[in-house]
Structure 1
């Protein structure tokens, strides 16, 4: 996640004074592009509204470009990277404080991320099912469960 987060922060730093949209495009314009755009939208949402809605964000993006987040792995990565940025950006410290904190760290506990993956995969499957039905021009008859992030 670190290279992706570093890239995101560099782009945001370089373009913060630009009042026009920034063009984002990888080789196919769907996977990495989708993650980058969704990440930017979700972090803005967190900043301005103090909450984020992964499901709604990706669903709205898929209305414009159905393949924007192509796989479950990309959807899971989006959750992880947004959570990582939010978790690490809150803790601002001086270089000396950072050295102390790094020295006191233990190995990371990924239990929270691992337990979250099942719910995230299920949520992505709902998004994919709805989009597939829309593409096939059929009505969606299943989805009586409200998906929460």
Structure 2
């Protein structure tokens, strides 16, 4: 266990190497840390910290500063999108390739919970699992069902763990899905995929009635359709804990993104979806409720 010197060494080494890279065009992490260790014991104490310094410098050297002022976004986006006739590429294409290089890889050992035999049938694909450190473990009790759901907590710009990303519920995980919505105080659900019974993407909500999914009762309140968005409002409660009261949840089904396309049919409609979500969040709970987002 580091007494703090290891972390201090990481920070100082990264700072020194960034200056060296900018001023000299080279880096020498090995000798930098060797010099730090000669001045204070345990500077960059573990192998993981040593690798982290390399990863941080690699990301800085490959990516640089990618922040763009809003007032300059249009001009900069135009420039980075232009095709270079000599390379037949563009800066934005190169940037995406760099992103693929520096993205951390999730290893099988990072997803040990999802890989447990008892949880296999709760995963739509064994190739798309959440890392253990990001899992939202279910709290509501549902018979012998485990507390696992293939989902991940993710931060927004303003709020930690504001989003929960998950798969479209399977027939055997609909109860788990609604437990997730209830347990984590989710006020919104965003559905980005089409329903397809052949692919087990079935409807997981009641239509003009109420229905129980595991211990969670879901009551249909209203629905309306506006262009590419179907808005539904549900009232949910935990039948095993009626003292917890009920909660309102708005379900946004986005129908402007066909399965055969990588991108939505309309930029305007996806922006409208984002605005409606933000408006509902602010009206209903002051923006504190989480949002579940799912596709296949």
Length-normalised TM-score, structure 2: 0.25
More strand by share: 2
Q: Which has the higher contact order (CA 8 A, sep 6+)?
A: 1
More helix by share: 1
Give 1 or 2 for the bigger CA radius of gyration: 2
Length-normalised TM-score, structure 1: 0.46
